[in-house]
Structure 1
C-alpha cells in the first residue's frame, strides 16, 4: 500500500496523529502493546523440575528401598522431606520469576508519539494501531511501523532477521509478498534505530507484531542460572558421587563386621541424608532474590542475576559524566557572539530568567537563539506547575534560553516551517535543519554542533548589526576554551541566511556555506550525592574514572568538583587525541593513571575497558547512548540509565539505574557485597551440620555401635533448621564497614582456608557432643529413644548458638547488635517450639522415634551450645589478632 492508503485504512492523521479519546478507545479494543507472558512449561513441568537434582535422587532412592525393607515410617518421612523441599523450591521459583518480571517492568520503554497534534512521551505499552510514532538514533522500535517520513534512517534488524548490517529504510511502496527482511518501508518491534530519524504509523501491536509471532513459537523465558548457582550444581553432582561411594563403603564395612543388613542399610541411609545439604539451593536462590529486591528499592534494577555476584568484586567504575555524575538538567549560563559575551540567569527547564545584555542589541545573538531553538527536536511543557522536557537536555536548554529572550518555539515553527533535517550523530558532530521563511519564501539553514565542527564549516561570522565578515576561528575557539574552563558545555550555532545561495542541503553542500552566529555555554551541575559516592568508592578500594565525549576543560572542571582530580593534577585528564598518539605500552600506563578521559570515541572507550580488564580490573561501565553499547557489553558490569538511556544501552547492560544517579552505583555495590556475604554465611553455617551428621553415623558403623541419630531425625534437623534458622541469614543486614573493605578477588574460592577450618572445628564439636550426651544418657539409665532425643536436640541447640556466630564471619556476635535481625530471632523461637513438639508430643514421638527428656538434660545440652559458641568466638579473636 501507499502511505496514504495506510492512513485511510487505519483512520489516522499523518500530521496530528490520533486523538486521545480515539487512542483510549483503541487501547480497550486491541489491548496493551505487550508480548504474552513467556510460559514456564506449565505447573506440572515446574513441579517436576524441583526433583531434578542428584541429591534429591539419592533421597528418593532411599525412600523406595526403605519401603521394601518394611521401614514404612522412615520411608514416609524421607519422602515427605522430598515433597516439602520441592514445594519450597516451587514457591520460591514462582516468586523469583514474578519478582524479576516486576523488576523488568520498571525499565519500561518510552515512546514518542504524536497525539492531538502534540509530541508526547508515553509508555510503549500504551501504543495502539494508528498511532504516529517518532524514532531517533538509539531508540528501540516499540511497535511495527509503516514509515511515512524519514531522514537517513537505518535499522539494526539482526534480532529479527539475522541481518548483521543495519538496513537503510525508505518510504516507497513494495510488491505484495516482499519478505520481511526486504520490507524497507517498515520497521519492526524490537529492532534498534542505528542512525537517523523517522516517523511511522503503528500497524501492529503486542502479539500481532512480527516479534510477537516469533514469541508465540519459541517463547522468551529468562534462565535464572548464575555463576554461583552453576558452581553449586557442580558441587551437588560431586557431592552425590562422594555420598554414594561413602555409603557403599559404609554398608560394606557393616556387613563385613557381621552386622544386620537391614540395620546397616538404615545407618547407610542416615549417613546419606545427613550429608545432603537440602536447604542450600533454596537458601542461595532466596538470598539472591532478596538482594535483587533490595537493589530495586535503592533504584538499581538487575537485568542479569550474575551482576549481583560480580558487583562484590568490582575494582573500577568507568562513569559517564552527563546525567550520571551530573543532574542532566542543562541550563545555558553564558552566550558568546563575535561582538561580545552575555550572562544568563535562571536554571532548569522553567523559562524564567534573563539575558543580561546591558541594553545592547545584537542580530548575531538573535540568530544564535533562533538556530538553537529551531534546529531542535525537544519540547518543554508545563504540567501541574512543573516544567518537563521531552527530548535531549542540551536541546532543552537551548529552548529555554530562547524563551527567556521571547522566542516561542511554536511561533518559530510557524514563521520558519521545517522542510528537512540532517540529524545529529557522533560521527557527524552537528545537526542542521532546512526551513522556509514564511514572509520572504526563501530558505534558511539552521545548524548547531561541536565548536570545532561548526567553526570549520563556516565561511563568515555575523556581527551585532547583522553584517557578515570573515570568520575568526581562533577567537571562537579561544572563547569556547575559556567557557569550558568554567565547567560549561559549549555548542556553536550557525546559519545559512535567507539571502545566501541555495546550493542544496546535505553533508557535502553545507561545509563552507555557513555563517557563525555564536556560542551557547551551558552548565550541568554535579549531583549532590555524586561527590560523597565517589569518596565512598575510593574508601572501598574502588577506583572511579570519568569517560566522556565532552571537552577536556569541561570534564576536568566537573571532575575536580567531584574529587576525581586534585587541583594540581591536570595531567590526569587525557583526550582521545592523546590516546591515539600513544604507543601500546604507553597507552596501558596512561589508562591506568588517568582519572578523566575526554573527547573519547566509542572505539576508544571500548579499548579503554579492554585494557583495564587486561590489567586485572573488574570493570563496571556506565552509559546511556548508542555509542556506549560496545563498552557496556564488554564490561564486567554494564550499567545503563533508565531515564536518559537509549534502548540500545539498556539491552547491552546488566543493570539499569532508575534514577540515573552515580550514587546508586555505590549503593548497588554495597548491596552486592551484602548478598555475597549472606550466601557465604549460610554455607559456613550449614556445612558443619551435614559434616557432623555424616561423621556421627560413620563412627557408629566403624565402632559397631548403636546409631545416635535415626535417618528421620537427621532429616528433621536438616529441613527445620535450614528453613527456620539458616534462611534467616538471607535477611541479615549489611555489616558496618562493608564499604571500607577492598574488593573481593574474583579468583578467590568461596570458602577460605580459615572458614574451612572453622567448619571442621564446629563439625568436630557436634560429633563429640552428640556422642558424649548419647553415651552419658544411656549410662545414667535413659533408654535409646531418650538418648537419641538428647543428641538430636544437642545438634539443633548448637546450630542455634552457631547461627548467631555466623551473623559475622570475623566479628563477635555481640558487637553487631542482638536485635538487628528480627527474622533470625523469630526463626530461633519457631525452631524452639518445633523442638519441644518433637520431644514431648506423643504423635511426634511415634513418627520420629523420640521420647521426653528432663530439665537436667536440657541444661547439659545448653552447656555444650555455650562451649561451642565460646570456641568459635576464640577462633575469631585469634584470627583477628594474627591477621
Structure 2
C-alpha cells in the first residue's frame, strides 16, 4: 500500500514520512503509483491491485455473536454465587429452591439480552445505507464503478454533489470546493487546487488532497487515488476508534466493587456458619444446607435484574425524548457526568449557514430564522418586515446573492437539504425570506454566462437577461476586498448611484466579522442593451455597483444556550472541542454562553498549536481550565478526553463527524447525532440523539441522575432484608436453635418482594431540585456512611423483631410452621413499610405523599395478596411449609413494622442536612 503519514501522539504534530503525497509534484505521484495521468490504470492492472489491496471499505467493527452476548449477561460476581448455590441446592435435592434460583438468573439474562437487541435494532433504523459510486478513468475510458472497487493509482473524477470515495491527490481542479466538516470540523467548504505543500502541512490545510468521506460542494476535479480502505485518513480515525479504551461507567464500576465485597463477605459468612455448626457437633448435611441458605438469603438476587430493568426504564424514557441508548449504563453515566465536551459544527450549531445581517450603504437589516428552511423575514432598522420594498439596494443585494449562485435547495421528508456550497445556500434562503425565491429569480433573469469562483479570483459573476426588457445585467458576489476593487459606485436605498465609500464598506465589514460572521459583498452592473460575446473579467473592472454586504454564520441551535445554562446550574462544565478556527469557535461559544464576552483570559481558548506547545506537566491542567479548544485534530480530541479523565472528570463527548469518533469511544459516554451524524460516529457512541439537539443531552443528565437515585434507593431497600435473613440463619446456628425461616421461604421473600415491591422504585419520579445539585463525586462510594448505618439499623430491627416474634409465638403454644409463617410475614411487612421510606433517601414519606407513585401502591397490594395466599392456600402451604396464623400474630407483625418505620423516620430527621 502506498505510504501515508502516521498519526502522532495526542497534542503533538504528526511527523512526515516517505510518500507524503501532498508534498509531491503531481507527476511524481503518477510515477510512484505507476499509473497514467490521462488514461488511468488498465482494467487488468486494476483487478490485480484490487486482489492485492482489497476492497475500498473500512474493516467491519469487531463484535461478539449471539452466544457471546448471551454469556455476557451472566458475567457478574453475584450471578456466579447464585449459579453455584443453585447447583448445590439441586444436588441436595431441593429442586424447588434450585429452580427459583436458576429462574432468577435466567430472567435477568433475558432482560439484558432483549434490551441490548432493541437498542441495536433502533440504531439500525437510523442508518441510511446508500451505496457510493465513483467516476473512474480506466484504459482511457470514463466509467461509473462502485467505490469499493477503487484501488491506489485509479484516476478519479469528482464534481458537485459527489462523496469523495478515497484519499485523492489532485492533478487538476476547476473551482473545486469540498465540505470537510465531518473529517476536520471546518464549517466552511475548503477551496482545492493542485499546489505542492510542505510535508508537515496538517490534514485540515492540505489543499491538494481530497479525503475519503468528504463532500464536494462545488466545481470539479481530477486526481489519483493514493490510499483506499483502512489506509485513508478515515481509516486512520477508524483505527483510533478501535484503539480507544471502553471506559467502565461509574455505575458499573461501583456495582462491580460493591458486588465483589458483598460476594466475599457472603461466602466468608457462609463458611463461618458451616464451620461453627461442625464445631458444635451438628450434622454436616443440615449444617451445609443452613450455610447455603445463608448465602442465598444474603445475596440480593433481585439486584442484577433491578439494575437492568431500572436502566431499561430510563432507556424507554430517553427514547420518548428522542435518544437511543446503545448500552444500558449510558443513561446513568450522564447523571454522573462532570464535563461535557461538545463538538461545534452540527452539535451546538445547525451545520446550516444562515445570513444574519444584510448591510447596505444606507441601512443595516437583520434576518430572522435559521437553517435552510426559508422561514423568517428581512427586517428593516425599525424592525418592520417591509424592508425589501423600501430599500432598492437591499433588493439588489438579495437578488445578486440568489442569481449569482449554483446551489440548489430541496425539501425532503419535511427537511430542507442543500446541494452545493453552504454559503450559497444561505444566500438563497435570505433572498427567499425577502420575497425573491430562487426559481422566480431564474425565471425573471435567466443566466447567460458565468465567471466561476476561484480562490485566486475571490469572486463569482454571472451575466443575465432581463426577462421584461431583454437587456443584459451582471450580478456578482465575493470577498469584500476583491469586489470593492471592481466597484466605483454604490447604490442608495432609493436606487440612485453615488461614489463608492471604501472606508465605510471596510468598517462595516470589520464590525460584522468581529461578531464571528463570514462577510461577502454583492454587486451588480445596471441593465444595458445586449451585446454579443461572453462575459469576461476585463468587462467588470470599474463597471460594477456595490449593493451591500451579507454576513452569515452557522447559527447555534435554538435550545443550545438554555441547555448550556442548565448544565452549569447542575454543576456540569461544558467545553467546545472543534476542528474549526478559533475566531469562529469563540463567537459561537459566546452566543451559547460558554464564554463570557467580557472575559479576557486567553487560557479560556486554546488551539491545537497551543496544545502541542504545552509541556506535558501543564497539559491536563490547561485542558481542564479551557472552555474552547479549536483547530484540534482527531488525535488531539482523543488526548483531550484522556487528559480530563486523568484529572478525575467523568467525560461525556458529543459529536457527529468522523473526526469525533475516537474521542466518542474513549469518553465515559459518547453521544452521537443520529440525523446528521456519520455512521462511524454512531458506531463509536453509547447514545444517539435522533433529533441532533444538544438540549436533549441536558434532559439525559436529568434522567441519568434520576436513574442513579432509584438504583441507590433499591439497594438501600433490599440490603436490610438480605442481611437480616443471613443473620437470622447465623444466629440460629450459633445458638444451635431451630431455623426461624427455611431456605425455601427465604427464596419466596427475595423473589416476590424484589418483583412486587423493589422494582416499583424504578418508576419513582425524579425528586425536586435534582438539577440544582452538583454531579456525584466519581470517588464517592455507592452507599454513603449515613445510608450504610441505615441499612445496618433496619437489618438489626429485622433480626431482633423476627427472633422475638418467632420466640413469642412458640412460647404462646404456636406450632413450628405457624411461628415460621409469622416470621416470614414479618420480613415482608417490614419491607413494605420500609419501601415507602425509601422513596426518598432524605425526605419524609409523608412529604412526598403516600400515593404519588401508583406503582408502589399497586405493588404493595399485589404483595399483600401474595402473602395471604402463602399463608392460607393449602397448595402454597405444602410447597413453602407455611400454615394459617391468628389475627393476634398479624397485629404483632404490624406493630413491629410500624415501629421500624418510625425509627427510620427519626434517623432521617436526625441526619437531615441543615436547611
**TM-score, scaled relative to structure 2:** 0.68
- Residue 101 of structure 2 is aligned to residue 101 of structure 1: no
**Uncovered stretches (5+) of structure 2, i.e. residues with no partner:** 1-35, 37-58, 134-145, 150-156, 167-172, 184-191, 195-209, 223-233, 235-244, 379-385, 466-473, 492-497, 526-534
Counterparts of 1:144-183 in structure 2, within 5 Å, are: none
Q: Deviations over 1:286-342 (max 9, x none)?
A: 1111112211212233344443233122234455667655667765353347x6666
The reply on whether 1:789 has 2:821 as its aligned counterpart is yes
Note if contact 1:315-1:541 (Cα within 8 Å) is conserved in structure 2.
Answer: yes
2:298 is equivalent to residue 275 of structure 1: yes
Superposed counterparts of 1:23-62, under 5 Å: 55-56=78-79, 58-59=81-82, 61-62=84-85
SS of the aligned residue for 2:842 comes to: coil
Q: How far apart in 1 are the matches of 2:667 and 2:162? A: 19
Using a 3 Å threshold, how does the CA distance of structure 1 residues 707 and 591 change in structure 2: closer, same or farther? closer
Alpha-carbon distance in 1 for matches of 2:708, 2:571: 17
Q: Does the 8 Å contact 2:400/2:523 carry over to 1? A: no
Counterpart in 1 of 2:537?
500
Q: Which of 397, 413, 435 is the matching residue for 2:426?
A: 397
Residue 329 of structure 1 contacts residue 524 of structure 1 at CA under 8 Å; is this kept in 2? yes
Structure 1 residues 638 and 463: CA distance shift in structure 2, 3 A: farther
Contact 2:447 2:463 in 1 (8 A): yes
| Contact residue 382 and residue 388 of structure 1 kept, 8 A | yes
Counterparts in 2 of 1:57 and 1:744: CA distance versus 1, 3 Å: closer
**Are 2:501 and 1:480 aligned?**
no
CA contact (8 A) 1:770 1:791 kept: yes
Q: Does 1:491 align with 2:519?
A: yes
Deviations 1:213-237 (A, max 9, x none): xxxxxxxxx9998553465456545
Q: Is the 8 A contact 2:522 2:550 kept in 1?
A: no
The answer to whether the aligner puts 1:539 opposite 2:577 as a matched pair is: no
CA contact 1:373–1:398 (8 Å) conserved in 2: no
Q: Please tell me whether residue 258 in structure 1 is matched to residue 305 in structure 2.
A: no
What runs of 5+ residues in structure 1 fail to find an aligned partner? 3-34, 115-126, 143-148, 159-167, 171-186, 201-210, 212-221, 423-427, 449-453, 503-513
Cα shift readout 1:590-646 (whole Å, capped 9, x = no counterpart): 877776x49x32349848767766665444444444555566556544444334444
Residue correspondence of structure 1 range 248-647 to structure 2 within 5 A: 248-319=271-342, 331-336=354-359, 343=365, 347=369, 349-350=373-374, 356=387, 370=400, 376-381=406-411, 394-403=423-432, 404-405=435-436, 407-408=438-439, 415=447, 454=479, 460-464=485-489, 478-484=507-513, 489-492=517-520, 498-500=535-537, 519-522=549-552, 529-544=559-574, 549=580, 559=590, 569=598, 571=600, 597=628, 600-603=630-633, 606=637, 616-625=648-657, 632=664, 635-647=667-679
Determine helix, strand or coil for the equivalent of 1:738: coil
Structure 2 CA distance for partners of 1:432 and 1:745, relative to 1, 3 Å = farther
Residues 868-883 of structure 1: matches in 2 within 5 Å? 868-881=900-913
Q: 1:774 to 1:746 in 2, by over 3 A?
A: same
2:853 aligns to what?
821
With over 3 angstroms needed to count, the CA separation of the structure-2 counterparts of 1:432 and 1:781, relative to structure 1, is: farther
**1:354-412 residue CA offsets vs partner (Å, 9 max, x unmatched):** 795788767x996886566655545144988x976667765432112345446538669
Aligned length: 755
Distance apart, 1:830 and its partner CA: 1.3
Contact (CA 8 Å) 1:681, 1:808: kept in 2 or not? yes
Q: Name the CA shift for 1:76/1:654 in 2 (closer, same or farther; >3 Å).
A: closer
Q: Aligned equivalents of 2:330 and 2:162: distance in 1?
A: 24
Who is 2:241 aligned against? none
Report SS of the residue matched to 1:661.
coil
Instruction: Supply the distance in 2 between the matched residues of 1:764 and 1:431 (Cα, whole angstroms).
Output: 85
Give the Cα–Cα distance (whole angstroms) in 1 for the partners of residues 97 and 712 of structure 2.
Answer: 28
Instruction: Rate the CA distance shift 1:838–1:155 in 2: closer, same or farther, 3 A.
Output: same
Asked if the contact 2:582/2:631 (under 8 Å) is kept, the reply is: no
Q: CA RMSD in A?
A: 5.7
Structure 1 residues 55-134: aligned runs within 5 Å:
55-56=78-79, 58-59=81-82, 61-62=84-85, 65=88, 72=93, 75-105=94-124, 107-109=126-128
Cα distance change of structure 1 residues 707 and 432 upon mapping to structure 2, 3 Å threshold: farther
- Contact between 2:822 and 2:885, CA under 8 Å: does it hold in 1? yes
The Cα shift of 1:741 comes to: 0.9
